[in-house]
Structure 1
Amino acid sequence: MMWDLLLPCGLALAVLLAVLFAFADTDFLLALYEKFGKDCGSLSGKVVWITGASSGIGEHIAYCLAKSGCRLVLTARRVEELERVKQACISQGPNSAALEKNILVLPLDVVHFHKHREAVQTVLEHFGQIDILVNNAARGQFAEWIKVELDVDRELFETNVLGPVSLSQEVVPHMIKRGGGQIVVTSSMAGKMGLPGARSYTGSKHAIHGYFESLRTEMAGKNIEVTLICPGPTFSQLYLTAATERLGETLGLRMEKTQKRMSTSRCAYLSCVAMANQVSEAWIMQQPVLLTAYIIQYAPVLGRWLLKKFGPKQVQKIREGK
Structure 2
Amino acid sequence: MLSKFDKMLFQVIGAGVFLYGLIHSILLYFIDSDIELWFYNIFGKSPSCLKGQVVFITGASSGIGEHTAIALAKHGVKLVLTARRKIELDRVKRICLEVSKGKLHDRDILVIPMDMMDINSHQDYFEQAVQHFGHVNILFNNAGRSQRAMWEEIDMAVDKEMFELNVFSVINLTRVAVKYFNDRGKGHVAATSSIAGVLGVPFSGTYCGSKFALHGYYNTLRNEKGHKNLCVTLLCPGPTFTNFLTESFTGKPGEKYGIGTRPTDKRMTAERCGELCAVALANKIPESWIALFPLIPLVYIAVYFPFVFRCGLKILGPEALFKLRDSRDTSVLNEVHTV
TM-score between both structures, scaled by the size of structure 1: 0.94
Paired AA for residue 149 in structure 2: A
Structure 1 stretches lacking a partner, 5+ long: none
What corresponds to 1:280 in structure 2?
A: 286
Matched, 1:42 2:46: no
What corresponds to 2:144 in structure 1?
A: 138
Conservation of the 8 A alpha-carbon contact between 1:71 and 1:99: no
Matched, 1:27 2:22: no
Paired AA for residue 310 in structure 1: L
Q: Deviations over 1:283-312 (max 9, x none)?
A: 111111111110111122222232232111
| Higher radius of gyration, 1 or 2 | 2
What corresponds to 1:175 in structure 2?
A: 181
- Give 1:95-244 correspondences, 5 Å limit: 95=102, 98-244=104-250
**CA distance in structure 1 between the partners assigned to 2:43 and 2:207 by the alignment:** 34
Paired AA for residue 73 in structure 1: V
TM-score between both structures, scaled by the size of structure 2: 0.90
Paired AA for residue 267 in structure 2: R
Identity %: 41
Paired AA for residue 208 in structure 1: L
Following superposition, the deviation at residue 124 of structure 1 comes to: 1.0
Between stretches 82-91 and 7-16, larger displacement belongs to 7-16
Paired AA for residue 62 in structure 1: A
Conservation of the 8 A alpha-carbon contact between 2:48 and 2:76: yes
What corresponds to 1:83 in structure 2?
A: 90
Following superposition, the deviation at residue 2 of structure 1 comes to: 12
Matched, 1:62 2:78: no
Determine helix, strand or coil for the equivalent of 2:232. Answer: strand
Between stretches 7-16 and 140-149, larger displacement belongs to 7-16
Paired AA for residue 52 in structure 1: G
Q: What RMSD in Å do the two structures reach over aligned CA positions?
A: 2.2
Matched, 1:309 2:315: yes
**CA distance in structure 2 between the partners assigned to 1:186 and 1:36 by the alignment:** 23
Determine helix, strand or coil for the equivalent of 1:221. Answer: helix
Determine helix, strand or coil for the equivalent of 2:233. Answer: strand
What corresponds to 2:332 in structure 1?
A: none
Paired AA for residue 179 in structure 2: P
Determine helix, strand or coil for the equivalent of 2:79. Answer: strand
Conservation of the 8 A alpha-carbon contact between 1:25 and 1:287: yes
Q: Deviations over 1:192-217 (max 9, x none)?
A: 11111111111101111001111111
What corresponds to 2:335 in structure 1?
A: none
Determine helix, strand or coil for the equivalent of 1:253. Answer: coil
What corresponds to 2:60 in structure 1?
A: 53
Change (3 A) 1:124 1:303: same
Conservation of the 8 A alpha-carbon contact between 1:161 and 1:208: yes
Change (3 A) 1:147 1:69: same
Q: How many residues align?
A: 321
Change (3 A) 1:3 1:187: closer
Conservation of the 8 A alpha-carbon contact between 2:59 and 2:83: yes
Between stretches 5-14 and 34-43, larger displacement belongs to 5-14
Change (3 A) 1:140 1:2: closer
Determine helix, strand or coil for the equivalent of 1:252. Answer: coil
Determine helix, strand or coil for the equivalent of 2:231. Answer: strand
**CA distance in structure 1 between the partners assigned to 2:136 and 2:61 by the alignment:** 20
Paired AA for residue 146 in structure 2: G
Paired AA for residue 250 in structure 1: K
**CA distance in structure 1 between the partners assigned to 2:289 and 2:311 by the alignment:** 22
Change (3 A) 1:132 1:310: same
Conservation of the 8 A alpha-carbon contact between 2:226 and 2:232: no
Change (3 A) 1:293 1:11: closer
Change (3 A) 1:306 1:173: same
Structure 2 stretches lacking a partner, 5+ long: 1-7, 329-339
Conservation of the 8 A alpha-carbon contact between 1:233 and 1:321: no
Change (3 A) 1:99 1:18: same
**CA distance in structure 2 between the partners assigned to 1:294 and 1:306 by the alignment:** 13
